[in-house]
Amino acid sequence: MTSGMDAGRGPSIDVSHNGVVVTGNRSFRGVVTAVEAVMGDSVLVTLTAPRPMVRQLRSGRFFEILCRLDRFYDPLLRRPYSVFTADPEAGTLTFLVRPFGRGSVWLAARAVGDEVDVLGPLGNTYEIVPRARNLLMVAGGVGVAPLVMLTEEAVANGLQVTFLMGAEDAAGLLAPAHLPELVEYAVATENGTRGHEGFITDLVPEYVAWADQIFACGPEPMYRSLRTTLSAASSHPGHPIQISMEQSMACGVGACLGCVVETKRGMSASCVEGPVYALEEVIW
C-alpha cells in the first residue's frame, strides 16, 4: 500500500493503510476490531490505524476521537484519549474508555466492525532518561492508560518496572494480565477490598530510593498528594517526576487555548506542549 502519511504528519487524503482510510492531515477512520470489558464499567476499544504511524508512536501521546456518527453533531467536539497499547504488527491502537459523559458512553458502546474517526497522534511523550534502570509508575483509575504503553516500552528495553495502581475498589483495578510478566505490581483501594487500604500515593515512599525515575497519571488530587509525598524526596535531581495532565480539550491542536495549564514557565497549551509535564513545573 502506498503511504502519504509520515508518522501521522503530512497531508494525506484517502490513502489506504492495512484497510484504514486516512481521511486528512493526521486523521483516519479506524475499524473496531475488539471491545473488552475491563476495570469495572470501562472497556478496551481496539481500532485499526495506519501501520507507519503506529510503528513510530511513543507513550504519552494521545488521540482526539470523534464520539458521534457522521450525520450527528452532538457531541460536536472530539474527545481526547491516551493510548493504552499499540500493536505495530497488527496495525492497531487500543484505548481504555471509562463511560461517564455523552462522548465516552458513545465510544464505549462501539461494536466490532464500527468505524471511528480519529485525529492524532497529538501532544508530547514521556521521556525515559538514558541512565534510568528502575522505573516507578503511579496510576490512578483510568490514568493507568498511558502508563501501560510506557511500561511495555520500558520492559522491551530491559528496564525494571514497579507499577502502582489505585482505585476506589477492587473492581476498578487493572488485571495484572494486562501488564508485562516481569513487572512488579502493587495496588491500593480506598475501601480496602484489595491491596493497601487507602491511596496509592501511600505506597510511593517505599519505592522512592529504588526508582531512577517516576511517572504518573491520574486525577489532580493524586498529583497534589504525590507532590506532598515526594517533597522530602529530592532523590531525583535532574529527573523530574513526569505526569500526564488530563485537562478538558476542544481542538487538540493548540488553536482554542481551552486546555491551558499554568506552569512556572507561563501558561501552556497542554494539547501541544503537554500532556506530559514535570510535576514541579505545574502550578495548582
Which of these segments, 7-15, 130-138, 228-236, 252-260, binds ligand FES (CB under 6 A)?
Answer: 252-260
| Interface with ligand FAD, residue 51, by CB under 6 A | no
Which of these segments, 99-107, 160-168, 184-192, 196-204, binds ligand FAD (CB under 6 A)?
Answer: 99-107
**Phi and psi torsions of 255, nearest 5°:** -95, -35
| Interface with ligand FAD, residue 254, by CB under 6 A | no
Nearest one of 34, 37, 2, 36 to 20, comparing CA atoms = 2
200 close to 188: Cβ distance less than 8 angstroms: yes
- Interacting partner of 101 out of ligand FAD, ligand FES, none (Cβ under 5 to 8 A depending on kind): ligand FAD
| Interface with ligand FES, residue 77, by CB under 6 A | no
| Interface with ligand FAD, residue 56, by CB under 6 A | no
Residue 139, amino acid: A
Nearest one of 65, 68, 93, 66 to 81, comparing CA atoms = 65
| Interface with ligand FES, residue 259, by CB under 6 A | yes
- Interacting partner of 278 out of ligand FES, ligand FAD, none (Cβ under 5 to 8 A depending on kind): none
Which of these segments, 157-165, 197-205, 236-244, 253-261, binds ligand FES (CB under 6 A)?
Answer: 253-261
User: What 8-state DSSP symbol labels residue 176?
Assistant: G
Residue from 246, 261, 263, 276 touching ligand FAD (CB under 6 A): that is: 246
Residue from 8, 54, 81, 223 touching ligand FAD (CB under 6 A): that is: 81
| Interface with ligand FAD, residue 102, by CB under 6 A | yes
Residue from 251, 276, 279, 282 touching ligand FES (CB under 6 A): that is: 251
**Alpha carbon of 114 to those of 48, 87, 180, 223: distances in Å?**
11, 19, 29, 36
Cα separation, 163 vs 140, whole angstroms: 11
Cell numbers found for residue 248: 478538558
**Alpha carbon of 36 to those of 62, 80, 252: distances in Å?**
20, 20, 27
Cα separation, 89 vs 233, whole angstroms: 41
87 class by beta-carbon count within 10 Å (0-12 exposed, 13-18 middle, 19+ buried): middle
- Interacting partner of 252 out of ligand FES, ligand FAD, none (Cβ under 5 to 8 A depending on kind): ligand FES
Cα separation, 153 vs 149, whole angstroms: 6
Report the residue number, 188 or 259, with the smaller CB distance to ligand FES. 259
| Interface with ligand FAD, residue 218, by CB under 6 A | no
Report the residue number, 38 or 230, with the smaller CB distance to ligand FAD. 38
Cα separation, 116 vs 110, whole angstroms: 9
| Interface with ligand FES, residue 35, by CB under 6 A | no
The residues near 266 (Cβ < 8 Å, ≥ 6 apart) are none
- Interacting partner of 269 out of ligand FAD, ligand FES, none (Cβ under 5 to 8 A depending on kind): ligand FES
**Applying CB under 6 A, which residues contact ligand FAD?**
62, 75, 79-82, 95-98, 100-104, 142, 145, 246-249, 275
**Applying CB under 6 A, which residues contact ligand FES?**
249-252, 254-259, 269, 271
